[in-house]
Amino acid sequence: MSLNTVRHDYKITKKDREKLNQHRSLLLWFTGLSGSGKSTLANLVEMELHKKGVSTFVLDGDNVRQGINKDLSFAPEDRTENIRRIAEIGHLMVEAGVVTLAAFVSPYIEDRENIKNIVGVDNFIEIYINTSLKECERRDVKGLYKKARAGEIKNMTGISAPYEAPTNPDIEIVTDNQDVETSVQTILDFIIQKIK
């Protein structure tokens, strides 16, 4: 924190914004391997929440890396900074009264714990999209696993870089043997109760 800044307290609060929106705001954090279905599920959950009149916004790993985080690599220290920045943005979105869906590999437990510290544990829902490496490689939507196996991509989570699975997520979706509709409904059933 800069020594030359002073925090300003404004009169309109998060509670005021939530009251206006008629729902609580939360950060829904989708974590899992590349190709697990994080972005797909975040998109579908947002669509359903939108139908219900919930104010939402999706922060997606690929999209964010084309903008605010385009200066970061996939080295461990840059991955940590990527997640820290997203957590700060997520915190601002939650303060704005928006249900924010963040779809990021976010491979390190310590980084995900830090998100909770930034946004507050009561504002954070960890959603583990648990898909086997075999299934992610079968899907290989972006062709990343093929490139990683060929040595063209370094620091590929699940291949040449670790993924530390959540030990106690709020929601765990195993996509290998569950259809998309059921996965979406499982997430919605949990979230709707939290934002009422």
For the chain, what is the HEC assignment? CCCCCCCCCCCCCHHHHHHHHCCCCCEEEEECCCCCCHHHHHHHHHHHHHHCCCCEEEEEHHHHCCCCCCCCCCCHHHHHHHHHHHHHHHHHHHHCCCEEEEECCCCCHHHHHHHHHHHCHHHEEEEEEECCHHHHHHHCCCCHHHHHHCCCCCCCECCCECCCCCCCCCEEEEHHHCCHHHHHHHHHHHHHHHHC
106 an active-site residue? yes
Annotated binding site for ATP: 32-39
Marked catalytic residue, from 25, 55, 106, 183: 106
Annotated binding site: 32-39
Tell me the catalytic residues: 106
